């Protein structure tokens, strides 16, 4: 091995204007043999978890980051020897440097963000012949066995109640994902599995200690369950149950603002203070919608489709937009123009364990009710898995947010940046309702429509909500207006 054969792999922008990302998982260890396009690290971006591939073939000689770090684009991740020599023995992971050590090592931000000429060696200078980054290359037969992951050293802890001390973080991928979803740092979990392995129950126990209540619910509830029990509880810990970020007086816990939560906050602040919001409300009879949903669920032709009221609401909104096309617009401040759009990319707000994301159905105005139901289901599954693509979140025009699944009646939703309106749907509940002079029990919900008052006047916003309401109260209008 010589210095000219060492190539540094740096954090690149996967295509969403990324400036920094959190390291979720290291896919390689020192001594591993890499082929072109082999994944080397998984990072969390503003939209999803993304695996970054290697652009060279060679042997990993040094890991430069650790799980949990947030690093800027351009920062070096690992170094690879491209000379093709034998793999060196894997080095034992060293404890992460202290804050003081990092401060001494750190240079100006610009230097940290961009690798130096010594860190990144172009292929032309190395004498190696790395292949082009195309497709997924076959694994070399010289790769030795399964991938070894570099484990992040954690402070040794004394055993309590017979638990195994944690001096290495051992956990299966589903357990790691659960910890990420719940916001639990693995090095703060007391492991009870074989050889100090962190189990699913260990992660749930850590969450219970952190939040003071058990939570193992569905982040994508189907029908309107009560809000999760842990919401509104006081975070707590005890001296024999450590948790990351707990202050010395044990009265508060501090968690870094990162990834999806950080980007969501930035987007919501920008939207709230850029577009003047107006919200109008309407309480409507949803009995007809619920009857249609029940009939479709019982139909053999729809047996393979997950039908929910949300699909019918989406169809009603699309019909109303067709009757009021001026609402489907955006404000171009730079060009000083209003851009009227002849298509609808319908956003579906999703409250995921990683934070709020808004993927959208492209050209939803062309979709049938069945296609809407299938599309919404696919967006939910993808978001639940943390694999929403950048394309799915771009170019939305109007969004639906369904806070009824949390048993909430109404709200004032904030616009997704760049969009003209957002329709909020409250919980569908049985209430007394006047029908042709008689009081009857009906299924009732409150709709709320927030819109950008630069684009949509009050009268136009009211007409849009009125038309959505009319189709939902009398679905046959969808045939006439659609």
478 vs 470: CA distance, rounded Å: 9
What single-letter DSSP state applies at residue 153?
P
**Residue 418 has which token pair?**
């760049």
Could you report how far apart the first and last alpha carbons of the chain are, in Å? 69
* Per annotation, catalytic residue among 55, 342, 365, 453: 453
Q: Does 453 participate in catalysis according to the annotation?
A: yes
> Which H helix or E strand runs over 280?
strand 277-285
267 vs 263: CA distance, rounded Å: 6
Q: Are 7 and 120 in contact (CB under 8 A)?
A: yes
**Residue 420 has which token pair?**
């003209």
Q: Is 432 in a helix, a strand, or coil?
A: strand
**Residue 379 has which token pair?**
């967006």
Q: Are 351 and 383 in contact (CB under 8 A)?
A: no
Which is nearest to 79 in space by CA: 65, 68, 94, 93?
65
Residue matched to tokens 């290495």: 168
Q: Is 62 in a helix, a strand, or coil?
A: strand
**Residue 382 neighbours by CB distance under 10 Å:** 18
Residue matched to tokens 């219970």: 208
* Catalytic residue IDs: 453
């Amino acid at each position: 091995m010589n210095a000219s054969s060492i190539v540094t792999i740096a954090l690149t922008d996967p295509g969403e204007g990324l400036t920094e990302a959190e390291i979720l998982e290291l896919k390689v260890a020192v001594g591993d043999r890499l082929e072109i396009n082999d994944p080397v690290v998984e990072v969390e971006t503003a939209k999803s978890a993304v695996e970054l591939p290697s652009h060279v073939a060679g042997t990993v000689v040094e890991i430069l980051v650790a799980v949990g770090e947030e690093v800027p684009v351009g920062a070096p991740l690992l170094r690879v020897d491209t000379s093709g020599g034998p793999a060196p023995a894997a080095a034992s992971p060293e404890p992460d440097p202290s804050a003081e050590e990092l401060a001494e090592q750190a240079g100006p931000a610009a230097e940290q963000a961009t690798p130096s000429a010594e860190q990144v060696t172009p292929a032309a200078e190395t004498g190696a012949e790395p292949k082009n980054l195309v497709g997924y290359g076959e694994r070399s037969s010289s790769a030795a066995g399964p991938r070894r992951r570099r484990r992040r050293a954690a402070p040794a802890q004394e055993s309590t109640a017979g638990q195994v001390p944690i001096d290495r973080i051992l956990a299966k991928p589903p357990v790691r994902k659960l910890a990420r979803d719940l916001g639990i740092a693995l090095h703060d979990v007391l492991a009870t599995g074989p050889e100090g392995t962190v189990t699913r129950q260990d992660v749930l126990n850590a969450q219970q200690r952190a939040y003071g209540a058990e939570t193992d619910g569905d982040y994508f509830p189907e029908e309107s369950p009560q809000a999760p029990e842990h919401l509104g509880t006081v975070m707590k810990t005890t001296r024999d149950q450590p948790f990351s970020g707990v202050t010395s007086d044990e009265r508060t816990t501090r968690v870094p603002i990162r990834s999806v939560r950080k980007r969501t906050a930035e987007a919501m602040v920008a939207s709230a203070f850029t577009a003047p919001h107006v919200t109008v409300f309407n309480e409507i009879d949803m009995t007809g919608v619920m009857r249609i949903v029940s009939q479709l669920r019982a139909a053999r032709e729809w047996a393979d489709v997950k039908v929910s009221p949300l699909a019918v609401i989406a169809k009603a909104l699309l019909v109303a937009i067709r009757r009021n096309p001026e609402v489907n617009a955006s404000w171009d401040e730079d060009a000083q123009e209003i851009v009227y759009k002849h298509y609808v990319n319908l956003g579906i707000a999703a409250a995921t364990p990683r934070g709020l994301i808004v993927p959208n159905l492209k050209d939803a105005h062309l979709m049938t009710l069945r296609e809407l139901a299938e599309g919404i289901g696919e967006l939910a599954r993808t978001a639940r898995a943390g694999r929403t693509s950048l394309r799915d979140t771009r170019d939305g025009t109007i969004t639906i947010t369904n806070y009824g699944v949390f048993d909430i009646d109404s709200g004032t939703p904030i616009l997704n940046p760049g969009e003209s309106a957002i329709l909020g749907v409250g919980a569908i509940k049985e209430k007394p309702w006047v029908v042709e002079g008689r009081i009857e029990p009906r299924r009732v919900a409150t709709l709320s429509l927030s819109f950008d008052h630069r684009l949509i006047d009050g009268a136009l916003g009211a007409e849009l909500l009125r038309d959505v309401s009319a189709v939902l109260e009398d679905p046959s209008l969808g045939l006439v207006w659609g």
